[in-house]
Amino acid sequence: MNKQRGFTLIEILIAVALIAVLGTSVIVLVDPVGQFQKGRDAERKSELSQIQTALELYRADMGAYPAVLPACDAVFSQGTVTYLRKTPCDPKNTGAYVYTYRQLSASSYSITTCLENVRDPKKDAANVAPCAGGTTNWSYTVFNP
């Protein structure tokens, strides 16, 4: 008696279907797009903190905040003192995804960025104008301490 060993076509199709279902489930649960959005939002918040530190050092030296912030990737310096070798840029740096600096007075400012993650717990309570019409319409703002 000659027995052939192996898998039938039906068994192979069932195994491939199970692997596809499991793979799709993992991708949906992990949400790679959402993870990238959260990562870029975390980078934005970190960079705003760096800018905020540089602005505080500038104010300590000059007595007031600057009227404008240097352009993206530019050096932020005054005289011989360098506060930032390279002014941070938004990770996307297109459209509404830029850092918006506003000098509110000689002793106060705000820096706003648009967020991608709509469920960010630190988003602003009310959206600000630069993010209106953006992907998520949510912003994150820091003020002078």
Q: How many CA atoms lie within 13 A of 24 on its CB side?
A: 6
Pairing of strands 100-105, 138-143: unpaired
pLDDT at residue 94 is higher than 60 = yes
Average pLDDT over every residue of 76-83: 94
pLDDT at residue 96 is higher than 90 = no
pLDDT of residue 67: 92
Number of Cβ within 10 Å of residue 71's Cβ equals 10
What is the residue whose two structure tokens read 């991608």?
116
User: What is the rounded distance in angstroms from the CA atom of residue 62 to the CA atom of residue 86?
Assistant: 20
Average pLDDT over every residue of 25-52: 90
User: What is the rounded distance in angstroms from the CA atom of residue 69 to the CA atom of residue 11?
Assistant: 65
Across the chain, what does the average pLDDT equal? 88
At 145, the pLDDT band (50, 70, 90 cuts) reads confident
pLDDT of residue 110: 92
At 128, the pLDDT band (50, 70, 90 cuts) reads low
Read off the pTM. 0.78
Average pLDDT over every residue of 55-66: 94
With a pLDDT cut of 90, the percent of the chain lying above it is 53
Average pLDDT over every residue of 70-99: 91
- Most confident range, picked from 22-26, 28-32, 79-83: 79-83
Domain ranges in the chain are 32-143
What Cα–Cα distance (Å) separates residue 40 from each residue in 10, 29, 100?
45, 20, 17
